[in-house]
Amino acid sequence: MKTLLSVIVLITGWFAKQADHTEKITLPAFKSGETLKYSLHYGFFDGGIAYLNIDEKTVDGRRMFHAKAFARTSGITDKIYKVRDMYECYMDPETCLPIKSIRNVKEGNYRQYNEVVYNLDEQKAISQRSGEHKVPMDIQDIVSSFYYARNSLFANLKAGQVIAMNTFFDDRIYPLKIRFRGDETIESRFGKINCLRFSPEVEPGRVFDTKDDLDVWISNDENYIPIRIQLNLFVGSVKCDLVEYAGLQKNLKKSED
């Protein structure tokens, strides 16, 4: 389940091009009130659900976005190993850079709670758990990266192109890389959707067999939302599909094929 939630919120963060991440966003791909719901399944077995939602708030007189990513196990999986994971981020509505992050993880008997405050003018991330860290001015949090990248330009990508960005997660900087595979139309709960297919590089070993064992399909429209995530593990294929959505900036574009 930790893989489910982390993958969903990191996926789109890997798509940002090499650009000035501190520039203002003029044409947002999302709006306050947007909610996305995903279902994870292994064959015919349901493993869990995840939600992503974003709202606009005013905190101490400052307007900001409050984004939340929540995942939980369900069915038999919930009885075997209960998971309730929540990631939150307050971010600047003009740049989608993080202001404050909250991580609240409950997995079986394991618990972890941490808050990180960002002072990007001084290039600092202050973690409740581990103290101060030096970060670049355009660093992204695991959640803010998802929303920032959806506003990036996807034009002129070539099949095989590798895109990278840095994200602050688990109190350290993660250099993230993803390879663009090309356009592909897939069947979904909402009909045929034309998508951009990406393969984030993963670490072979305990879970994955090769570095290309993760595929992501992003809607090739003005919303740029993940439609499907597929993990090819040693034990088989696990899929995470979009099953509900609300409050999109634009109508989800269906394929005419």
Residue 149 gets the label, from left (phi > 0), alpha (psi -120 to 50) or beta, of: alpha
Averaged pLDDT for residues 227-237: 73
Asked if 36 contacts 150 with a C-beta cutoff of 8 angstroms, the reply is no
Say whether pLDDT at 118 is over 60: yes
Say whether pLDDT at 225 is over 70: yes
Predicted model pTM: 0.84
Say whether pLDDT at 14 is over 80: no
pLDDT at 169: 87
Say whether pLDDT at 19 is over 70: no
pLDDT at 17: 38
Say whether pLDDT at 104 is over 70: yes
Residue 256 CB: number of other CB atoms within 10 A? 7
Residue 202 CB: number of other CB atoms within 10 A? 19
pLDDT at 67: 96
Rounded to whole angstroms, the Cα distance separating 30 from 248 reads 6
Domains, the chain, in order of start with CATH, read 2-246 (2.40.360)
Residue 155, classified by CB atoms within 10 Å of its CB into exposed (0-12), middle (13-18) or buried (19+), is exposed
Q: Show the beta-strand stretches assigned E in 34-143.
A: 35-42, 45-59, 62-73, 83-91, 98-107, 110-119, 124-127, 131-134, 140-141
Asked if 236 contacts 21 with a C-beta cutoff of 8 angstroms, the reply is no
